[in-house]
Amino acid sequence: MAVFDPEAESEPPMPDRVPDELVARYGARARREVRVSRSRRYPLTRRLRRVKGMLRSGDLWLLTLLVFAWSVVAAGAVGALVYAALMFPWAGLFVVLPVVVLFLVSFGAALRVTRRQQRSSVESL
C-alpha cells in the first residue's frame, strides 16, 4: 500500500524560474522574493529565529520561574492541608474549611472585579 501517491496530487508543479514579464513588471527583487519564499527552509528558519529571540527574553524566564515557584508553594500548602485533615479530623473544620472559604471569597471578588472592568471597557468604546 502506497502512502504517498504522486498521481493523486491536484496542484500543478511550480515553475523552475520566474517569467521575464513578472521580473520586468515587479523588478529584479521579485525573483529573489519568489525564490526565497518558496524555499522549504525559509519558514522553518524564520520560526527558529523567532523562538530563539523569545528564549532570550528575560521576562519569559522570570515569569516561568515565578509560576514554577508558586506552583511548588501551592502544592506544598495543599499537601499540608490534606495531611493535617487526615491526621487530625478536627483540622478539617478549623484549618481546611476556612482556607476553602477564603479561596471562594477571593475567587468571587476577582470575578466581580473582572466583570466590572469588562463592562467599563465596553462602555468606554
Instruction: Kindly state whether residues 69 and 100 are assigned to the same domain.
Output: yes
Instruction: Kindly state whether residues 66 and 119 are assigned to the same domain.
Output: yes
Instruction: Kindly state whether residues 47 and 10 are assigned to the same domain.
Output: yes
The pLDDT tens digits for 40-84 are 556 777 777 777 777 787 788 888 899 999 999 999 998 998 898
Confidence of residue 121 (pLDDT cuts 50, 70, 90): confident
Instruction: Kindly state whether residues 70 and 45 are assigned to the same domain.
Output: no
Do the domain assignments include residue 120?
A: yes
- Lowest-confidence segment of 14-18, 75-79, 85-89, 104-108 by average pLDDT: 14-18
Do the domain assignments include residue 39?
A: yes
Structural domain range at position 20: 6-51
Distances (CA, A) of 43 to 21, 46, 100, 109: 27, 5, 49, 45
Average pLDDT over residues 105-122: 89
Q: What's the chain's Rg over C-alpha atoms?
A: 30
Instruction: Kindly state whether residues 84 and 119 are assigned to the same domain.
Output: yes
Residue 105: the pLDDT is 95
φ, ψ of residue 57 to 5 degrees: the values are: -70, 125
Do the domain assignments include residue 56?
A: no
Query: Running DSSP on this structure, what letter comes out for residue 12?
Result: P
Instruction: Kindly state whether residues 39 and 72 are assigned to the same domain.
Output: no
What is the sign of the dihedral through the CA atoms of 9, 15, 19 and 23?
A: positive
Instruction: Kindly state whether residues 45 and 73 are assigned to the same domain.
Output: no
Instruction: Kindly state whether residues 69 and 116 are assigned to the same domain.
Output: yes
What's the total number of domains in the chain?
Answer: 2
Instruction: Kindly state whether residues 72 and 118 are assigned to the same domain.
Output: yes
Taking all residues of the chain, what is their mean pLDDT, rounded to a whole number? 79
Instruction: Kindly state whether residues 33 and 68 are assigned to the same domain.
Output: no
Between residues 30 and 72, the one the model is more confident about: 72
Do the domain assignments include residue 106?
A: yes
